[in-house]
Amino acid sequence: MKLFDLENLGNEMANLNTTHINQQQLRGELASLTPSERADLLQETVNTFYDGAKFDYPGGEGLDGKDGPERRGIGEVLNAAVDYADDARATGPR
């Protein structure tokens, strides 16, 4: 179940100045979410980066040519995000 629309994230990221993200504003937005909603958002965001590394700019390694150091590294982060989201959903909103 997707709580957030990340379909156009690539277009939004192209317009994002990644050297300066307003962390205070972002933290304010995140404060309005429950812990499980923040965990779901984290998982969806990391999954978007993972899919990008797999499909849009693959590393060219592995049997399918879609593996590489970036995908493997983001995969580890994604696994942790999935575990974290599962735990957050198990404990429910607080």
- Residue 6 and residue 68: Cα distance in Å, rounded? 24
pLDDT in tens, 46-79: 999 999 988 888 887 877 888 889 999 999 999 9
> What are the φ and ψ backbone dihedral angles of 61, each rounded to 5 degrees?
-105, 175
State the Cα–Cα distance between residues 36 and 39, nearest whole angstrom: 5
Q: Are 22 and 16 in contact (CB under 8 A)?
A: no
Contact criterion met (CB below 8 Å) for 48 and 80: no
Using the predicted structure, report yes or no on whether residue 3 has a pLDDT greater than 80: no
pLDDT tens digits for range 18-55? 556 678 888 888 899 999 999 999 999 999 999 998 88
